[in-house]
Structure 1
Amino acid sequence: MRTTLEAASERAAQLETELKRTQATLAQSWALTQRMLRPDAPPDLPNVEIAADHQPADGVGSDAWGWVMQPSGRLACFMSDVAGRGMTAALAALTLHTAIKMALRLGVTPSETLRSINAEVYPHYTDAMLLATAAVFTIDGTTGAVEHASAGHPPTLLRLKGTWQRWPATVPPLGVQPEITPETQTATLAPHDFVIVHSNGLADDLRNAVPTHIVDELQPAAAQAVAVAVAAAAKQQRGGHPPTDDQTLLVAHVIRSFGSA
């Protein structure tokens, strides 16, 4: 006949096995979520090159970014950042990433993408006490026309003919107000122009200002070189320590005149 101690020991062993199984399942789920938040390889375009750099913090991140080609032939790029960490924020980031990508694939404009998605997520974000910033821009591959909209995201940087511009968000983050109408910001890109979008974590380390002089000093430079240099500046700013928040940078660079192959 088993003693009480033997029964307790057996039950403890069962609980330990169940705990390990649960932890393994969670680890697989987290890994899958993180993979789904990462974009495929950037499109091979004749006039524009795309690069990104991502420095994850410990745990499950909530930055998402990507690019798609729209039915019109425009390149659409986006970045979103859900406030918070852990599985709740990661799952919110995944659904937001999917919604933005689907809207852009259908040819929806940046402003309308953010407006319509905010209308859908607002009640759910309110219940869960979540909010998310997002920036979206498109580039016309034949004219260089860029169209941009942002909800609460750090300012998007443009280098136009050697001069820097900042396009700030024109509405609060997604989930803050039931209805938003982001302003559409436009410009026309030329060879050697850049569009740079970055996450809140990178903005914090760089004291809310990407060191544009680094980009200027690198000219002429490829998009990937710019992404690596800015990420290195952020690492230096935090003394080489790991980031406390996900840091993501997306760079679009015009490599030749539009209309030329």
Structure 2
Amino acid sequence: MKLEQGMAAVVTGGASGLGRASAKALADAGLKVAIFDINDEAGEEHAAAIGGTFHHVNIMDEQSVQDGFDAARAANGQERVTVHCAMASKRGKTIGFDKETGGYKRLSTEDYAFGAEGILVASYRIASISALGMANAEPLNDDGERGSITLTASVAAQDGQIGQVIYGSCKAGVNGLVLPMARDLMDLGIRVNSVMPGIFATPLMLGMKDRNPAMWAQLNASVPFPKRLGEPEEFASLILEIARNSYINGHQFRLDGAIRMPPK
């Protein structure tokens, strides 16, 4: 798919980290980018910097997401590229030790359901609402292509660590969406893929650099090559290639410097 000047894109979680880098890369390629985020200040600042638009969107609320797409389409036109980076989740072991009682406690079903909503259900929500808009748009090329949707999974989908029963299983679910959704949408010319980033230098991870330099050095050394955390711009580079290359469809990409996560 040729990324034309003025083509519209939507990036969730575009105010920071991987989403922020993706939004900038798409804007640099000439696209009009709508950032969906709940961080108004950072989102508005970044949207202004890249010549895009910002929309306060809670990915866990159906109406908020629909309103966001409606506003983005009114401002920029029908999105042809959607990149979903936003998520919400909790952490905990299936069964853990409770210091207060001296016994064991179970990770609550409610906590698990929160993560499933914030990762898996939200991914379906974003992808399906975007796909409906794309389905009603004119094809962009002789292949009949109408758009590209990229979801963000994680290496935890395959290498889930201790305490990641919610995150790992729900990110695996994101990967599980890809092929059946790509096949659902094949006659409409809409591609669906996912990226599984490894350890990336996002704001959350960069905070460790000053707080715990030893742990920071250990994390960098744990990556086979290159021996460093991934740069958000490297994630964004893959996002651009997925959007551009019409033969990439129904695929899940590890982007991890060859790391394989240990149990903890």
Q: TM-score w.r.t. structure 2 length?
A: 0.31
Q: TM-score w.r.t. structure 1 length?
A: 0.31
| Structure that is richer in helix per residue | 2
